A and B are shown apart, each in its own frame.
Chain A
């Protein structure tokens, strides 16, 4: 038993002892010799069966017992011992062996009651010592012996009477006795335990004094029979067996040694131990079933250690466990859980709960006269909760106890108060129904429940959360135009001079001059900063398109008048004089035509002409006559090639002229639809041709169609490449502008509907991220069109400003748009024969 429990079970032990003692008193000396009891009990069956045919033997046994009793005049315990010994000796058929067997038996008794192995070993030892008699014989002997013990016991219990009755109803008594004995065994075992415990403690104390101790442990000792030693001591040295004695030695010793009867051999060491008087007394007390310690006062006054009085210090003798000095881990976890819950607001402390309860208890009055205004104050949507109704009393039950039902007298009073029902005891008449089904409302119950559910379903009381999204949140977030400055915001100059709608305008590459061409057949050169018309070149035919050559070395303007494409020198006195003079010099002499032999198809479409001296004086340097009127002209970025589109269908509609070598090409074999515009790609050798519905990109080197863009417009008017070349803007007569990301898809990245009329003109700024569109609706729209180098970022298109354009004339307004090459200025050619500069 662990020490912790030992203290706790102190009380129980004392109690059991008491009980045992009381039992002892009751049964007088009914139970004696525990070992014998257990043994007899174990062999009860054998006993009962053997008893009949061994009846005669009993007598002789009895006699022997008697004799032995007379022989040895000691205590009862010793009696038994002797008795045993005699039995053993009889068994061994030699009375000399008695002492040894007594020894072994004593040993057995002194040790714990049920050390079977040891007893086995001893019996084994005994057996070998005996060296005669077979296994079965030994068994029978044992049985006999046990029976004798039982008989003897009975005899000792009931000395004289039992002896007489024994022969008559031996069987009955034994059987009855065995039951009693069994109960006694149980009692005894419970009684014995603490005693034995105490014993062990004492032996533990005395163990220090022993010099030699066998360390082999709890093993059968006969394992060492064949060895000279019997085990090992604490230092690991062999414990040598003492010299063996044969039976003669034993006998001699028995005769000589007066203490032989109380000499036992320690099986673990093989030493002979002479039991002291105290030891004998102890054995005797154990055999008697008494408390082994003779000093123990069984009847000492009762001290109520464990009472209901609370003691100042606990009644514990053992030191506190380490655990009790350390904070509990599980508690800590629990506390942490609670703290977390408090932090998260899942639980509340008792204090908070109390405060809440207090708050709830405090009456809150509905502010009837509070202001009905906005903000706090009276909130019409939060109704005051109705007071809670008390739970229904017994009388309201469908089956109230009879005392709640109205008896005749009460019924009388009930009826009497018919006129004044509020004075009645109840507002209802307690009625008894055998079951809920008989309650009158049950008939309507299902239908009512159905109606309620229907009501809840069709008219739910839940507050409906309406999604409030204003229209402004759906519009994509665009930067403010203020952040995207500079861009043209208003008209700065108005250039007047044309007599008819101005069809086309362009800036000189450095931005100093403007060239314009109109329906009046005049090409005019203007100064940008002042709007001064510096030169007018009359061409005679309406000019549909003017374009300043981007070539840095040339001083040339391409003008399309009717079916003629004219290359003009704007004037040697304008701008860069030397460059103008050089251009004249260059264009005066046609290059040798030796190897340039135009094929028939080209020759049928295009004819290069020498200009007359009058035209030369006007400024015309080269004239290229096409077979149809020209609708669109555009320069290649380097200024050597110019693409002209004529109003025709088929492959001859687009013609590319090379100025330096004065020859033409028809790059397209065939083309479906009428050409609207043709532009060179700003960076790559691509030619983009817009027909009525589609824009096609041709690779001029590989001579193949690269891409076909379908803007989805009914009629394309014009298009323009972003200066970086990856994006394209297409304008259409059906009021739309389509932004294409050429890397992305042949479908528009974005469609801009910025105009109320046809979009006729559009332009990109070369430096600023700006583009402008203009059309028939009297407005020019300037937009921010930022193209990022990052391929993952989409172009940012922000319409910035709607500028009032030129005046509308004949349902036309803006016919051409052009950005200043360096400044954020926009030039618009107007149908009202003016040119407007916006800045």
Chain B
């Protein structure tokens, strides 16, 4: 870039959607080559001038042309091809505060699945066992029961002292457990049989009545998660008394040609599934048919859908995280997030912010992404020493990831001041 461009002045108007940080709506002339840090200082100074109540310095992120500003403003504008002559609108928002490492929970084997709830963390391991931890990092319970590595776990419901969760394993079964919290005892209530091969993923519907599982036998099965005995499933009750009753699938959704790698409930009767056959399918549970199909060009490893922005993010057998819009009829990738250096194994949306999501990859990294910054993640949550197999952000304040270095790492996300 020439020296002139570096020296060039630029008319900038700062806007924000966070009312408490509003600055006067007047254009400022700033130099082109400012970095986000400089802008940050500027905004802080303005805020300090305008509002006396403003005390603590806040770190802001700046959105220019719909994308997060990472490098200097001039480079960003040049990349976007925006003229420096006009007055530029720069939106700023409080930066999501950096998560801090909170805990490292040691397991006996690879951690393959994890899900947190308000105060409990459920993890599944390759040693065929489930573990319940408190969010403070206290190991509450180890639950053997599966005969093969546990590949998926999910909380179902919390009713008083009784917590219900479900686990899926490569032993082709899913088991519904009931955990009595005060007594710290767990019961295997229902065993779900119906898959011919190992279960790879689980997802419980929002109302907690049903859950879906995806398996290596190319099928997605829907199961009832209610504890009440159902009359229409009297069969094979006594086959395995030690594992409680056995249930068959409510519906089997057949259509994938390869293994199912991820399922997600989108609606009370809509299920999203991703497969190794490069397809995302949206199923109608009542009809048992496919509502929509999105074709990718790599095998999908994980999928997640956010109700906040109705977008699908996928992890596939390459270095990219891809964002799809389920409403578009064409299979067009809206955004590709590239920063991982290995396969991305797991992706999870934030439950509270529609622009943030978490991804875990085989490059030992967990990354926190902002959808408007496809090139650089907000934060790299490093610490794992081997492939990260799973991640979870069900609890908005906990960023949890399980890895093949036998650890479960918890990062604490501080709530942004503006959102508090």
A interface vs B, CB < 8 Å? 485-486, 492-493, 510-512, 529-532, 534, 573-578, 822-823, 825, 839
Across the interface, do A529 and B110 meet the contact criterion of CB distance under 8 Å?
no
> What's the least CB distance linking B320 to chain A, in Å?
12
Contact sample, A vs B, 5 pairs, CB 8 Å cutoff: A486-B298, A512-B197, A530-B112, A575-B197, A578-B196
Query: Contact partner of A532 among B110, B196, B217, B298, CB < 8 A?
Result: B110
10 additional contacts (CB under 8 A) given A530-B404, A532-B149, A823-B317: A510-B216, A512-B197, A529-B301, A532-B126, A532-B404, A577-B172, A578-B196, A822-B258, A823-B299, A839-B343
Question: Which residues does chain B contribute within 8 Å of A512, judged by CB atoms?
Answer: 197-198, 216, 259
Q: Complex Cα distance A823/B257, Å?
A: 12
- Is chain B's interface secondary structure helix, strand, loop, or mixed overall? loop
Contact partner of B197 (CB less than 8 A), chosen from A493, A529, A576, is A576
Whether A822 touches B171, Cβ cut-off 8 Å, given contacts A492-B343, A529-B301, A576-B197, is: no
| A530 CB contact (under 8 Å) in B147, B196, B217, B387 | B387
Known A-B contacts A512-B197, A822-B276; the reply to A492 vs B342 at CB < 8 A is yes
**B298 to chain A: closest residue by CB:** A486
Within 8 Å CB of B362, what residues of A? Answer: 492-493
Q: How far is the CB of B213 from chain A (nearest CB, A)?
A: 16
Contact B387 A823 (CB under 8 A): no
- Given A530-B387, A573-B148, A823-B299, A839 contacting B171 (CB threshold 8 A): no
- Check A530–B110 contact: CB distance below 8 A: yes
Q: With a 10 A CB-CB cut-off, give which of A510, A529, A823 has the most chain B CB atoms.
A: A529
Instruction: Tell me the bound Cα distance from A573 to B198 in angstroms.
Output: 10
Q: Bound state CA distance, A532 and B109, in angstroms? A: 11
B317 contacts A492, C-beta separation under 8 Å: yes
Interface size (B, Cβ < 8 Å)?
32
Contacts A529-B301, A530-B389, A531-B387; is A575 near B198 (CB within 8 Å)? yes
Closest A-B pairs by Cβ, 10 of them: A573-B148, A839-B317, A492-B343, A823-B299, A512-B216, A576-B197, A573-B147, A822-B258, A577-B172, A576-B196
The yes or no answer to B380 lying at the interface (CB within 8 A) is no
Q: In chain B, residues 221-257, which have Cβ atoms closer than 8 Å to a Cβ of chain A?
A: none
CA distance A839 to B278 in the complex (A): 14
- From the candidates B261, B277, B297, name the one contacting A822 in the complex (CB within 8 A): B277
Taken together as a complex, chains A and B put the C-alpha atoms of A99 and B217 apart, in Å, by: 146
> In the complex, what distance in Å separates the CA atom of A511 from the CA atom of B259?
9
Interface hits, B308-338 → A, CB 8 Å: 317-318
Contacts of B301 in A (CB 8 A): 529
- Docked complex Cα distance between A577 and B148 (Å): 11
Q: Within 8 Å CB of B197, what residues of A?
A: 512, 575-576
Chain B neighbourhood of A492, CB < 8 A: 317, 342-343, 362
Across the interface, name the chain B residue whose C-beta is closest to A823: B299
Of B217, B301, B317, B342, which is in contact with the most chain A CB atoms at under 10 Å from its CB? B317
> How many Å lie between the Cα of A512 and that of B170 in the bound state?
11
Most buried by B among A511, A573, A822: A573
Bound together, the chains give a CA A576 to CA B148 distance in angstroms of 12
A574 proximity list for chain B (CB < 8 A)? 148, 170
Number of A-B contacts (CB under 8 A): 56
Query: What's the minimum C-beta distance from B319 to chain A, rounded to whole angstroms?
Result: 9
Contacts of A529 in B (CB 8 A): 261, 301
Q: Cα distance A492–B318 when bound, in Å?
A: 8
- Chain B residue contacts of A511, Cβ below 8 A: 258, 276
A825–B318 CA distance with the chains assembled, in angstroms: 11
Nearest CB of chain A from residue B358's CB, rounded to whole Å: 19
Which residues of B sit under 8 angstroms from A822, Cβ to Cβ? 258, 276-277
Closest-CB distance, B113 to chain A (whole angstroms) = 12
Contact B297 A486 (CB under 8 A): yes
Bound-state CA distance A279–B298 (Å) is: 126
Please measure, in the bound complex, the distance between the C-alpha atom of A822 and the C-alpha atom of B259, giving whole angstroms. Answer: 11
Chain B residues whose C-beta falls within 8 Å of the C-beta of A530 in the assembled complex: 110, 112, 345, 387, 389, 404
How far is it, in angstroms, between the C-alpha of A578 and the C-alpha of B216 when the chains are bound?
A: 14
The contact string, 1 if C-beta is below 8 Å from chain A, for chain B 256-280, is 0011010000000000000011000
Q: How far apart sit A486 and B148, CA to CA, in the bound complex (Å)?
A: 33
CB proximity of B262 to chain A, nearest CB, Å: 12
Please, how many angstroms separate the alpha-carbon atoms of A573 and B197 in the complex?
10
In the complex formed, the residue of B with least CB distance to A822 is B258
Q: Which residue of B lies closest to A491 (CB)?
A: B342
Minimal Cβ-Cβ distance residue in A for B110: A532
Which chain B positions have C-beta within 8 A of A531? 387
Contacts of A577 in B (CB 8 A): 171-172
Tell me the smallest distance from the CB of B4 to a CB of chain A, in Å: 30
Interface residues of B in 167-213 (CB under 8 A from A): 170-172, 196-198
- Chain B residues whose C-beta falls within 8 Å of the C-beta of A534 in the assembled complex: 149
CB pair B216–A825 under 8 Å, yes or no, is no
Q: Mark B145-162, 1 if CB is under 8 A from A, else 0.
A: 001110000000000000
- Residues in A with CB closer than 8 Å to B343 are 492-493, 839
Give A537 Cβ to nearest chain B Cβ, in Å: 17
Q: Which residues of A contact B170 (CB under 8 A)?
A: 573-574
Q: Which residues of A contact B196 (CB under 8 A)?
A: 576, 578
Min Cβ gap A636→B in Å is 25
Assuming the contacts A492-B342, A530-B387, asked whether A839 and B318 have C-beta atoms less than 8 A apart, the reply is yes
Closest residue of chain B to A821 (Cβ to Cβ) is: B258
Of A510, A532, A573, the residue contacting B171 (CB under 8 A) is A573
Q: Hey, which chain A residues are within 8 Å of B149, CB to CB?
A: 532, 534
Smallest distance from the beta carbon of A627 to chain B beta carbons, Å? 40
Asked if A823 and B276 make an inter-chain contact with CB atoms under 8 angstroms apart, the answer reads yes
Q: Which of B112, B147, B258 has the most CB of A within 10 A?
A: B258
Bound Cα distance from A510 to B256, whole angstroms: 13
Most buried by A among B110, B217, B259: B259
Complex: how many Å from CA A635 to CA B342? Answer: 34
CA distance A492 to B217 in the complex (A): 24
Enumerate chain B residues within 8 angstroms of A493, measured Cβ to Cβ.
Answer: 343, 362
Which residue of chain A is the closest to B109 with respect to CB atoms?
A532
| A222 nearest CB across to chain B (Å) | 114
Q: Mark B395-420, 1 if CB is under 8 A from A, else 0.
A: 00000000010000000000000000
**Most A Cβ at <10 Å: residue of B110, B259, B261, B299:** B299
Q: How far is the CA of A160 from the CA of B389 in the complex (A)?
A: 163
Q: Which residue of A lies closest to B258 (CB)?
A: A822
Q: How many Å lie between the Cα of A478 and that of B228 in the bound state?
A: 65
For A486, what are the chain B residues with a Cβ–Cβ distance below 8 Å?
297-298
Query: How far, in Å, is A659 (CB) from chain B's closest CB?
Result: 23
A512 to B216, CA, bound (A): 8
> In the complex the two chains form, what is the Cα distance from A577 to B194 in whole Å?
12
- Roughly how many angstroms separate A825 CA and B197 CA in the complex, as a whole number? 22
CA distance A583 to B276 in the complex (A): 27
> When chains A and B are docked, how far (Å) is the Cα of A450 from the Cα of B298?
80
Q: Which residues of B contact A576 (CB under 8 A)?
A: 196-197, 217
- Report A-chain residues with C-beta under 8 Å of the C-beta of B110: 530, 532
What residue of chain B has the Cβ atom nearest to residue A577's Cβ?
A: B172
A378 to B298, CA, bound (A): 59
Interchain CA distance A574-B169 in the complex, whole Å = 11
CB distance from A193 to the nearest CB of B (A): 104
Min CB–CB distance A340 → chain B (angstroms): 55
**What distance in Å separates the Cβ of A122 from its nearest Cβ neighbour in chain B?**
117
0 or 1 for each of B339-356: is its CB under 8 Å from A? (1 = yes): 000110100000000000
Cβ-closest chain B residue relative to A530: B389
CB closest residue in chain A, given B169: A573
**Min distance, Cβ A767 to any Cβ of chain B, angstroms:** 11
How far apart are the CA atoms of A493 and B343 in the complex, in Å? 9
Cα distance, A486 to B298, chains bound together (Å)? 9
Bound complex: CA A393 to CA B159 (Å):
130
Contacts of B261 in A (CB 8 A): 529
Give Cα A576–Cα B387 distance, bound, in whole angstroms. Answer: 26
Report B150 CB to chain A, min CB distance, Å: 12
- Chain B residues within 8 Å of A839, by CB: 317-318, 343
Nearest-neighbour CB distance to chain A for B234, whole angstroms, equals: 23
State the CA gap A213–B308 with chains docked (Å).
125
Can you name the residue of chain A whose Cβ is closest to the Cβ of B301? A529
